[in-house]
Amino acid sequence: MTFDSSTPPAAYGTPVGNATPVETRRPVFQKTLKTSIGCTGIGLHSGVRVAMKLHPAAPNTGIIFKRIDLIGGGATIKASWEHVADSRMCTVLADRNGISVATVEHLMSAFYGMEIDNVIVELNGPEVPAMDGSAEPFIFLIECAGVLEQDIPRRALRILKPHAHNNGAKSVALSPWHEGLRVDFHIDFHASAIGRQHCSFTVDPDTFRDELSRARTFGLLSDVTALREAGLARGGSLTNAIVVDGDRVLNDEGLRHDNEFVRHKALDAIGDLYLAGHPIIAHFTGRCSSHADTARLMRQVYADRSCWEMVDIWQDVQAVAPWMNVRGRAAVA
Ligand SMILES: [Zn+2]
């Protein structure tokens, strides 16, 4: 892929000598779902059973959450960093009237990973279902529905200069990068079953599906009581989270990756970054950081207009794959 901030005069390549113009690249177009699809599950924090339906949406719609259980079914909230209302344990979006949708990050991460731009997410409750605590069930839904390429080009947010947010031992940073979104994450937990972990990925659909989507959310057994007293983790169980007690993983099935914990933190960060409303061309680094730190960084970046630009995304025509995953080799024009 190539990223241009201005549209070139010859959209499909430049003629060489007297030869017939060769189509060397084409815009990457926005994508939605081919058809509606749904699932039902428990909200991780609310403990409420919620039915969710994903519907195709027109180009430039973005990701819209719709609470059909409220105000005659008309309450909608755009998935945007501007609507982050709480990020203590999960990312909660809310509108001006306080109508909210919680735990959007795993679904948003699946949309980012699968390069989905436009979807209406209909919910009959206050929280996206946790499913198994990872993004894999959402990838399954997207693949079952099928992906439809639309006729409007996709645009990306390119970071032009480094930005960081430090919060004690935690930090998050975005810096310029030449190829899509690179994510580096580091964690360091006292619980020895987690300990120090690091992962590093360039996000594309194959990598997301194979390396990140299956990583589940996790919690420490010692925190469960405090979380429940704070009204959180009411729906949490060993079926939708990894639970750790010191050097032990309490889930009978064990881990899906040796470093599943840090992979999940990367998955969370990708979902939170998609609240930019566009894919991001940058290198993201998170060190022991939380949803709140990523939300703060997003606000900081958007407050500095010299920090970013919107660019068109192009791909090599030769590299077009037959399936939805139309990708080529990335480079900056
Ligand atoms: Zn998570």
- CATH (domain of 49): 3.30.1700.10
pLDDT along the chain (333 residues), means of 10: 50 42 82 98 91 98 94 83 89 90 97 98 96 97 98 96 94 94 97 97 97 96 81 82 94 96 98 96 97 94 95 79 41 33
Q: Is residue 111 part of a domain?
A: yes
For residues 272 and 287, what is the distance between their CA atoms, to the nearest angstrom?
15
- Does residue 330 lie in a domain region? no
329 assigned to some structural domain: no
DSSP code, position 126? S
pLDDT digits (tens, 9 = 90+) for 238-247: 899 999 999 9
**Residue 218 is encoded by which pair of tokens?**
């996790």
pTM of the model: 0.89
Reply yes or no on whether 291 is catalytic: yes
CB 109 within 8 A of CB 268: yes
Q: How far is the CA of 90 from the centre of ligand 1 (A)?
A: 7
Rounded to the nearest angstrom, the distance between the alpha carbon of 176 and the centre of ligand 1 is: 25
> Domain total for the chain?
1
| Residue whose tokens read 């590299």 | 319
326 occurs within a structural domain: no
Q: Looking at 264, 278, 283, 291, which residue is catalytic?
A: 291
DSSP string covering 161-212: S-EEEEETTEEEEEE--SSSEEEEEEEE-SSTTT-EEEEEEE--HHHIIIII
Containing structural domain, residue 35: 2-12+21-319
pLDDT, tens digit, 9 for 90 and up, residues 259-300: 999 999 999 999 999 999 999 999 999 999 999 999 999 999
Contact between 137 and 39 (Cβ < 8 Å): yes
Question: Does the residue 229 lie in any domain?
Answer: yes
CA 225 to chain centre: 29
- Residue 250, in any domain of the structure: yes
- 292 alpha carbon – ligand 1 mean position (Å): 12
Sorted by sequence, the CB contacts under 8 Å of residue 8 that are 6+ apart come out as none
Mode of pairing for the β-strands spanning 49-56 and 75-78: unpaired
- In angstroms, the CA 319 to CA 326 distance is 7
- In this structure, is residue 227 part of a structural domain? yes
Sign of CA dihedral 23, 10, 177, 140: negative
